[in-house]
Structure 1
Amino acid sequence: RPDGAISADGRVMGGYLHGLFAADGFRRAFLDRLQPGAAGGLAFTAEVEAVLDRLARHLETHLDLDGLLAAAGA
């Protein structure tokens, strides 16, 4: 269900903030309301996945995963 409120004149908005800007549609609408065209084309979920993939590749390259698993008894 939707959360938050906006004044009748649209100048005051409020809502629960955690994850709010992760919603692509809301983020675009919010930023476009502040400055038309400011939202850009960022797809939040795709960007998070890309960052996590880069982090995973970095860790696989620079950590001895077999050694860590052996030390953990896995």
Structure 2
Amino acid sequence: MNTYRHTLAAVCPSDCELIIYRLEVRSPAMIYVEHIKAATAIIKKGWHEQIADRLSEALGGDQTIIATHQGVEIETVRLSG
């Protein structure tokens, strides 16, 4: 099992706050770092759960995304298969 961790930022469409997300992807297959960076770089704006869905489609694997928005910590998990 491989574990990849990356930090990304995106703007919340509701209040225009810049949110910092911590992404963790676990996968038995290798995922190129360049693929992770490319998939996260195109995300500029979105709701936490929608960002999780987009990254799950783009990267596969089991994913956890954590961020704090307006004092509320949100953890979203997307499981493969």
* More RCO (CA 8 Å, sep 6+): 2
TM-score w.r.t. structure 2 length?
Answer: 0.25
Structure number having the greater helix percentage: 1
TM-score (norm 1): 0.27
Higher strand share: 2
